[in-house]
Structure 1
Amino acid sequence: MFFLPKDLDNYIVAHSEDEPQILQDLARETYQKVLQPIMLSGPYQGRVLSMISHLKTPQRVLEIGTFTGYSALCIAEGMPNNSELITIDINEELEELAAGYFARFRESGTNNININQKIGDAIEIIPQLEGTFDLIFIDADKPNYVNYFHQIMEKVHSGTLIISDNVLWHGKVVENVNSKDKSTPVLLEYNKLLKEDPRLQTVLLSVRDGLTLSRVL
């Protein structure tokens, strides 16, 4: 989804940090083997996530929505040694593909990070997780965004950064909502929650399909 002219979007990518080889390989394999490869964060958003992670240097990260592992690897780039990233996805068919690239990342010796894959319904898994997280990235099924919000707010501390993807939903958030559309109404409610919750400082960025940063006060 491009909200800017394609040539301008290409210029932005060309003048940002280059996509690492491991991510180029993962993107290529995803497009070759997986349905809906557009769900990848992509090179520009990936560099944004990497930059945020480097600035935050989170010790514990929770990702809701692994897909093939692209965004998890971007976030892992900025995590310190001996940190932990828990990533959840309901699609067990993609587990092996993501695991292979997580192993390759660890073998590169760049960071000693424990990437813990969990397969199943995030609504059931999140309450079972112990402790709090320094960074939470939400990029999963849109109808559950509000449910995820209420669950993760039990797993945060002051300073936790919550990153929410696809909050513009292909521009549908400013269009008339189709009666059969189950995602857009939830995203409208979710965006309102992030804006109005007094526990959060929130800014919505027009990165790709919309990326919201919310800092827990």
Structure 2
Amino acid sequence: MYLAAMFFLPKDLDDYIVNHSQDEPQILKDLTRETHLKVLQPIMLSGAYQGRVLSMISHLRAPKRVLEIGTFTGYSAICLMEGMPDGSELVTIDINEELEDFAAAYLTRFRESGKNQITVHQKNGDATEIIPQLEGTFDLVFIDADKPNYVTYFHQIMEKVTSGSLIISDNVLWHGKVVEDVKPKDSSTPVLLEYNRLLKEDSRLQTVLLSVRDGLTLSRVL
């Protein structure tokens, strides 16, 4: 049983794991602080530990073209950019136009640090309408947006990936609700249950669900 919204392990054990993983860079500490001061629902941030996981995966994959569905304030985008090589491209989508300038400021600050020469395209609007209009394919896709559309995103992004592409899905344990009785007015959990099943059963994918934070699934396109 989980102890709090984001803890599936005892808090002291979770703290030990974080303390023995790479520290997040200063820019992400600043972003986290400002998000908590100025933005509603700061819990939507990926967080230090998950951020280091995303950074590690990105370094291992070294993606040249990344699609992120759900920018929020830009934390996960920066984590992914850490492992992207020079000359790569990030497309990040969020429906909340009010956060566009907030995220853009941090993405620009990261790019100006000299670590990466990355082209960033921020798109605000309904991702289900934007994704079909995107040209080309992506080496890595990170999904961390509205849960009722996860299945729709799945079908759309499968048209935008090729063999070797990596799909990372966040919040797939949904605060433990995936193993509880679904409440009548809950529109998110049934979709996540279907989504998790799709990832497991699709013969085009190799999938593993990790108990990182609120659940992080890695799916490699075969």
Query: 2:70 — aligned with what?
Result: 65
The question of 1:190 aligning with 2:195 is answered yes
1:99 aligns with 2:84: no
CA distance in 2, matches of 1:107, 1:80: 15
Q: Which position in structure 2 is the counterpart of 1:139?
A: 144
Structure 2: runs of 5+ lacking an equivalent: 1-5
Distance 2:119 2:79 in 1: 14
- Alignment-derived partner of residue 175 in structure 2: 170
What is the RMSD computed on CA atoms of the aligned residues? 0.4
Q: Superposed, which structure 2 residues align to 1:1-217 within 5 Å?
A: 1-217=6-222
Inter-partner Cα distance in structure 2 for 1:105 and 1:89: 19
Q: Any idea what SS the aligned residue of 1:131 has? A: coil
TM-score, scaled relative to structure 1? 1.00
Cα drift, residue 115 of structure 1: 1.5
Same amino acid, percent of matched pairs? 82
Give the Cα separation in 2 of the matches to 1:66 and 1:146: 19
Q: Deviations over 1:46-101 (max 9, x none)?
A: 00000000000000000000000000000000000010000000000000000000
Equivalent position SS for 1:159: strand
The count of residues paired between Structure 1 and Structure 2 equals 217
The alignment's TM-score, normalised by the length of structure 2, stands at 0.97
Q: Measure the CA separation in 1 of the matches of 2:112 and 2:130.
A: 28
CA distance in structure 2 between the aligned counterparts of 1:139 and 1:159, rounded to whole angstroms: 21
Runs of 4+ in 1 over 3 A off after TM superposition: none
Report the CA distance between 1:116 and its aligned residue: 1.0
Counterpart of 2:3? none
Q: Give the whole-Å Cα distance in 2 for the aligned partners of 1:51 and 1:29.
A: 24
- Which stretches in structure 1 are left out of the alignment for 5+ residues? none
Determine the C-alpha separation between the residues in 2 that align with 1:163 and 1:106.
23
